[in-house]
Each structure stands twice: as structure tokens, then as C-alpha cells.
Amino acid sequence: MEDHDIAVGLDIGTTKIVAMVGRYNEYNKLEILGIGKSKSLGVHRGVVNNITQTIQSIQQAIQEAESASGRKIRDVVVGIAGQHIRSLQHSDYITRPDPDEVIGPEDIDKLCSQVHKLVMLPGEEIIHVLPQEYKVDGQAEIKEPIGMYGGRLEANFHVVVGQVSSIRNIGRCVKSAGLNLDDITLEPLASANAVLSQEEKEAGVALIDIGGGTTDLAIFKDGIIRHTAVIPFGGNVITEDIKEGCSIIEKQAELLKIKFGSAWPGENKDNEIVSIPGLRGREPKEITLKNLSKIIHARVVEIIEQVYLEIKNYGHEEQKKKLIAGIVLTGGGSQLKHLKQLVEYITGMDTRIGFPNEHLAGNSDAETTSPVYATAVGLVMNSLEHRNHRLRKEEVIEEPDTLKEEYDQEIEEADDYNTDVNTPKQPAKDRKSIFDKWIDKFKDFLDNAE
């Protein structure tokens, strides 16, 4: 099978780099062919701070993914996050030259291209232009204007902006690792694609993706992206607090968090103790689980309150219950014990853990459906959608269609020739040749296919 049927998502995170290879099966479900991961050494809070180390980590993850999938990886879609990301709302419009023609995809593209030309702050660049609602000749609340008549096409946009230098550094790392950067996607949007159902997006939901270096937020309502934010704290600050609070090394702090950590301090009794081996012959260190969960609880509450503030900023306090039906937690940090209960307690909203199995094929293993891989799964889906969109555009200008249009035009001219004897027309034998050409091309295609 050719490599053009696959797509690769590259999640460059603060703690790990994941390369995931996937394709759609015959039931239009995502089939994961291979995963490669490596420790992320050159990234801090979602931003590259060591080019050489990041390149090496990317190469390691890609080699592992190639080995697992048996495919050669060339093009990748990369996720972007980091505290430099910000979003804004913008309205724009175009006046169409011919209101008697129906609105087509090219009009939407023209409107989006116009927004891409917005003047940003120095050193900033637009990453995404996401249309929300449209207006056609003043008629509001239109979700899909294609096929409608109208002279003035307006839209509200959610515009995601990032630092040029951070985006270029990611591009450089990918290129230096021997890959082609096909597209860049905001990580919370990728995660949302992987773990949210269309019903949730309609009802109103806040997706919270707790990664190693950042916590990403995406809010949906009426099936439309309403707000995105990147908060510069994640699971790593919890590990750092455990390390400082218990005077142990980072590796031990991470293990403690994963094995015994809880976001709810009331769960542990005073006499529950874990013993950690001492360094270089020193005495083992004893830590009570109650103290451990107190350290974790304090930091997790801070992260959740920051996210909750963003949610409240999106909608007024008294309206929030009406705006958002619930919260979905995903990412590696969402696996912390009793986190769901703590989020429900702080926000008062229904909460669930988001697993990226919404669009995955039924035979996917437990590792693939872990919240840890939500962003990577979303990036693979975005890559496949991006490719399908590009192919559809190419099909519109494909030669057989053009020839068929020419043939239809020739038929019309033939009709004119038969009805209007005063107008000299092209000889009939020449008119026939266009259709013959089209048929010949079609026959050649069938012959080659055999």
C-alpha cells in the first residue's frame, strides 16, 4: 500500500514527544498503525528552548513510529501550544461581485484570506482563522452559507495568534529532523477533535487538556469553537512541588505522583506512609500520603481556578450554567486520582475524563485510547481532514471535468448551429473531437488501472 493513505501527527510536548501514524479504515474510523515516543528534552512550557535536543527527540520518536508502523514518514502535522498563544474575536465581510451567483467555498476562502491579512502586534502571526456564525445580506445566525444567494457575506471569527519566533523554531526542528511540516494545529483544538462528541459541542462544553508544561482550554457551544486559551502550568509544576516539599529527586517525585498521588487530601489517613530509598547510602525517606496529597491538592486547585477564571471570562457568571453543559478533562494530568471530583467541587459542573476513542477503530488497544494520546490522535485526524480538503479542491479543477464542461459547451454551440442558420459555426467534425478526447482519456485510465 502507498504511503499517501497515511497521516502523521507530531505532538511536541513538554514531557514527551509523540509521533502517531494513522489512516481511515473502510468504516471511516481512525486506525492507528504505529506510535513512537521519546522524552522531550528541549521544550519548556510548550515552547522550544533547545533546538538540538528537540531535533534529537523528534528523530527518536519518528524512528520508533516508522518501525512500529512499517511506513516511511515524510509529512507531519504538528501541535502548537505555549504561553505565547492568545485568541481574539474579529468580524469581517466581503462584497460579492455577482449576487445572482450562489455563495461557494471560494467565497468563504476569500473571506478567511482577508482575515489572515489582519495586522498583528510586532512578532505575532495568525495560526488559525475559525469562522463562527455568518451573515448574508444582514440575515444573521447562518451556520452554512454555501448555496445561498447574497451580495454581502459577513462572519464572526475566532482568531488564534502566536509568536512568530516560537512557530519558526518548531518549523526549524521539524525540517532539521528530515521531515516536511504539512500544517500547524493548536493543541486544544486537536484534543477536542479526538475526545468530544458533536452532541457535547452543540450543548456547550469546556475541554481542559492538562499536559506536562501547559493546561489548554477550548470552549464549544452550538457546535462552534467559542474560546481558546493556554495556561502556562501543567503536571510538571505538581512534580516540582513534590520534589521541593519532600526534598527528593524529580524522578522519585514523578513516580510518587503517578503511583500514590491524589487531588483530594481527605482520602488518606495519617498512618499511610511510603518509604523512598535514600541516595548514595543515605537512610530511606518516609513520606505520609496525607502530606503528599496536600502538596498536590494546593497546586491542582491553583491550575483549576486559573482555567475556571478563563471559562467565567468567556460567559458571565450568572449565565455560565446556561452556556456550558459540562467539562471534559484529558491529557496525561487528567489521570491524577480524584481530579474529576475536585473539578466538579470547584466549578459545580458535570465533569468526565475524555478518552480519544470517539473516532478510533474498534480494535484499538488500551494504550492508544489513553487520555495521554488525545492530542496526537487529534493531530492525525486533522492531517487526514486537511488532506481530504486539499484533494477535493484539486478534483474541482481536474482535467476530465474541464473536458466535460467543454463538451457541454460544444453541445450548446451545436444546438445554436442547428437553430440559427444566419450565424456561421465551427464545422461539425471538429465539435465531435472534444467528447472523443474525453472518452479516450477515460479508456486510457481504465486500461492503466488494469
Dig out the grid coordinates for 439 from the structure.
472518452
Cα angle 22-26-32, degrees, rounded to a multiple of 5: 20
- Give residue 388's pLDDT: 76
Q: What does the DSSP assignment read for 10-48? A: EEE-SSEEEEEEEEE-TTS-EEEEEEEEEE--SEETTEE
Of 321, 338, 317, nearest to 267 by C-alpha is 338
Residue type, 290: K
Cell of 393: 479542491
CB atoms within 10 A of CB 45: 21
Owner of C-alpha cell 457551544: 221
* 373 DSSP assignment: G
CA-to-CA dists, residue 131 to 230, 358, 360, angstroms? 20, 24, 27
Written as nine digits, the cell of 229 is 486559551
Is residue 238 a contact partner of residue 246, using CB atoms and an 8 Å limit? no
Q: For residue 66, give the H/E element and its range.
A: helix 51-69
Q: What is the pLDDT of residue 281?
A: 74
Per-residue pLDDT of the chain (450 residues; tens, 9 = 90+): 345 678 999 999 989 999 999 998 888 889 999 999 999 989 988 889 999 999 999 999 999 999 999 999 999 999 998 888 999 999 999 999 999 999 999 999 999 999 999 989 999 999 999 999 999 999 998 999 999 999 999 999 999 999 999 999 999 999 999 999 999 999 999 999 999 999 999 999 999 999 999 999 999 998 899 999 999 889 999 999 999 988 888 999 999 999 999 998 876 667 788 888 877 777 888 888 888 999 999 999 999 999 999 888 876 444 544 568 899 999 999 999 999 999 999 999 999 999 998 888 877 778 888 999 999 999 999 989 877 777 766 665 444 444 445 445 544 554 444 444 444 444 444 444 444 554 455 445 445 544
| Residues 88, 134 contacting (CB under 8 angstroms) | no
Neighbours of 213 (CB within 10 A): 23
Position 426 scores a pLDDT of 45
**Which DSSP symbol is given to 84?**
T
Beta strand ranges found along 187-257 (DSSP E) = 205-210, 215-221, 224-231
* pLDDT for res 313: 81
pLDDT at 237: 93
CA dist 28 and 361 (Å) reads 8
| The pLDDT value given to residue 409 | 55
pLDDT of residue 425: 43
**Grid cell listed for 293:** 496529597
| Strand pairing class (205-210; 326-330) | parallel
Residue 432: predicted pLDDT:
45
pLDDT at position 267: 67
pLDDT of residue 115: 95
User: What is the DSSP annotation of 92-158?
Assistant: EEEE-S-TTSBP-HHHHHHHHHHHHT---STTEEEEEEEEEEEEETTEEEES--TT-B-SEEEEEEE
- Please state the separation of Cα 29 from the chain's center in Å: 17
* Residue type at position 253: A
CA–CA distance from 385 to each of 28, 77, 304, 368, 390 (Å)? 12, 11, 32, 20, 9
